[in-house]
């Protein structure tokens, strides 16, 4: 596959609607976008980037009206901040509606949402008519791209469309503000300052930890935030081979491909008949939830092949097994 490099917004919008991957310019860097309502498309983002784990992705919308159907609450503080700082580098983290894919939020009950300060990006999203989940359009570990040519170099053979919106202004990343608890909390410092936010809505807490990627593991807020990641109530145990699973009452099985014999299990979820990791990633959280609804004593999960999306799935499994 070779990406279509174009300035045609409507072609790119149509591709997004059709579940394709579309890179587009924002005011910060080029984003790699997919419909936030399409789990397979979102799985494709992680696959194309080669990310070894699932991070929550920021959802981009064209205007406030477009954000509202996807959040379960829209407090006055959100309205004030949106009025003041959108479009712009402020991401608001709010309780999500179920229609936003779990893969977008990495199983969190909240979604980070913002309006990019880039006309072409907003036109694209408005024409697509779907909220667009997008991390930076680079391969894992590589530099974030600020031109369409950078995107083509890194991802040209892995995505569908590159919408050339010219070079990015390369602002700072967006500030991320959690509006789901008692006190508004800055999770990442960025283009909108704490002072500006406080001037608009009063005092906020700041809990940014150290790095960016590892923030949720290292920040003081982390334990709480991590627990909000989806972890099953049943005990989750990992194995490499179901032959090694001891007999026991009310056991469930989560597996990539159909097992030769699953009669020992009370509930079985097969993620892909053909072993397709993208399909597996798209259905992963939903399958885990279905198993969890069965009141099992133990859910056994067979480790995924340690390659491509399999690595991110294994990382997610290990976290879910550890969170208790
Ligand atoms: P970026 O790398 O600029 O695309 O920002 C993505 C970052 O936004 C993630 O790594 C998270 O740290 C943060 N983020 C997105 N959604 C959420 C959420 N629901 N809760 C907390 N942090 C979020
Ligand atoms: Mg990045």
Q: In CATH, what is the architecture of 4-206?
A: Alpha-Beta Complex (3.90)
User: CB of 87 within 8 A of CB of 115?
Assistant: yes
For 78-83, the CB contacts below 8 A with 24+ separation are: 78/179, 80/200, 80/201, 81/177, 81/197, 81/200, 81/201, 82/115
* Percent above pLDDT 70 for the chain: 93
φ, ψ of residue 253 to 5 degrees: the values are -135, 130
- pLDDT class of 226 with cuts at 50, 70, 90: very low
Q: How many CB atoms lie within 10 A of CB 227?
A: 11
Which of 134, 173, 176, 180 to probe ligand 1 with, by most ligand atoms within 8 A of CB? Answer: 176
pLDDT for res 319: 85
Task: Give me the chain's average pLDDT, please.
Answer: 90
Q: Which atom of ligand 1 is nearest to the CA of 55?
A: 10
Q: Where are the domains of the chain?
A: 4-206, 235-321
Q: If you average pLDDT over residues 288-301, what whole number do you get? A: 94
User: CB of 232 within 8 A of CB of 296?
Assistant: no
Distance 143 CA to ligand 2 centre (A): 8
pLDDT for res 213: 38
Instruction: Kindly tell me if the per-residue pLDDT of 216 is higher than 80.
Output: no
| pTM for the predicted model, two decimal places | 0.87
Nearest ligand, measured from the Cα of 26: 1
Q: What is the pLDDT of residues 31-78, one digit of tens each?
A: 999 999 999 999 999 999 998 889 999 999 999 999 999 999 999 999
Distance 54 CA to ligand 2 centre (A): 12
Distance 57 CA to ligand 1 centre (A): 5
Q: If you average pLDDT over residues 13-26, what whole number do you get? A: 98
Distances (CA, A) of 64 to 26, 83, 92, 144: 17, 9, 12, 27
Q: Which atom of ligand 1 is nearest to the CA of 188?
A: 12
DSSP symbols for 214-248? THHHHSTTHHHHHHHS---SSEEEEES-GGGPPP-
Tokens 């976008």 correspond to 33
| Fold type of domain 235-321 | Rossmann fold (3.40.50)
Tokens 């509930």 correspond to 267
pLDDT for res 323: 63
**Which protein residue has the closest C-alpha to ligand 1 atom 17?**
112
Q: If you average pLDDT over residues 182-200, what whole number do you get? A: 92
- Between strands 235-239 and 251-255, the pairing is unpaired
**Which protein residue has the closest C-alpha to ligand 1 atom 6?**
57
Distance 135 CA to ligand 2 centre (A): 6
Comparing 275 with 223, which gets the higher pLDDT? Answer: 275
Query: Which residues does a 6 A CB cutoff place in the pocket of ligand 1?
Result: 55-56, 58, 93, 105, 108, 110-112, 135-136, 173, 176, 187, 215
pLDDT for res 232: 84
């Amino acid at each position: 596959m070779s990406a279509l490099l174009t300035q045609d917004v409507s072609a790119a919008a149509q591709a997004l609607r059709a579940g394709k991957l579309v890179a587009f310019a924002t005011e910060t860097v080029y984003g790699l976008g997919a419909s936030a309502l399409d789990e397979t498309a979102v799985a494709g983002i992680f696959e194309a980037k080669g990310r070894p784990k699932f991070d929550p992705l920021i959802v981009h919308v064209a205007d406030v009206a477009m954000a509202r159907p996807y959040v379960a609450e829209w407090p006055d503080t959100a309205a004030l901040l949106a009025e003041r700082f959108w479009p712009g580098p402020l991401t608001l983290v709010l309780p999500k509606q179920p229609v936003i894919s779990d893969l977008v939020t990495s199983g969190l009950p909240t979604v980070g949402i913002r309006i990019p300060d880039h006309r072409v990006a907003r036109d694209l999203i408005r024409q697509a008519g779907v909220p667009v989940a997008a991390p930076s359009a680079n391969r894992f570990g590589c530099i974030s791209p600020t031109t369409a040519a950078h995107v083509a170099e890194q991802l040209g053979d892995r995505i569908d469309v590159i919408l050339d919106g010219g070079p990015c202004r390369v602002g700072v990343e967006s500030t991320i503000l959690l509006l789901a608890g008692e006190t508004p909390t800055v999770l990442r410092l960025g283009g909108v300052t704490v002072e500006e936010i406080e001037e608009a809505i009063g005092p906020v807490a700041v809990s940014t930890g150290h790095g960016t990627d590892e923030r949720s593991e290292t920040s003081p807020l982390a334990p709480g935030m991590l627990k909000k990641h989806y972890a099953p109530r049943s005990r989750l145990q990992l194995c490499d081979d179901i032959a090694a699973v001891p007999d026991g009452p009310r056991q469930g099985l989560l597996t990539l491909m159909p097992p030769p014999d699953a009669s020992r299990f009370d509930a079985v979820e097969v993620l892909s008949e053909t072993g397709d990791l993208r399909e597996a990633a798209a259905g992963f959280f939903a399958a885990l939830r279905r198993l969890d609804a069965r009141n099992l004593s133990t859910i056994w999960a067979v480790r995924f092949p340690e390659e491509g999306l399999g690595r991110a799935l294994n990382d997610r499994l290990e976290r879910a097994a550890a969170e208790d």
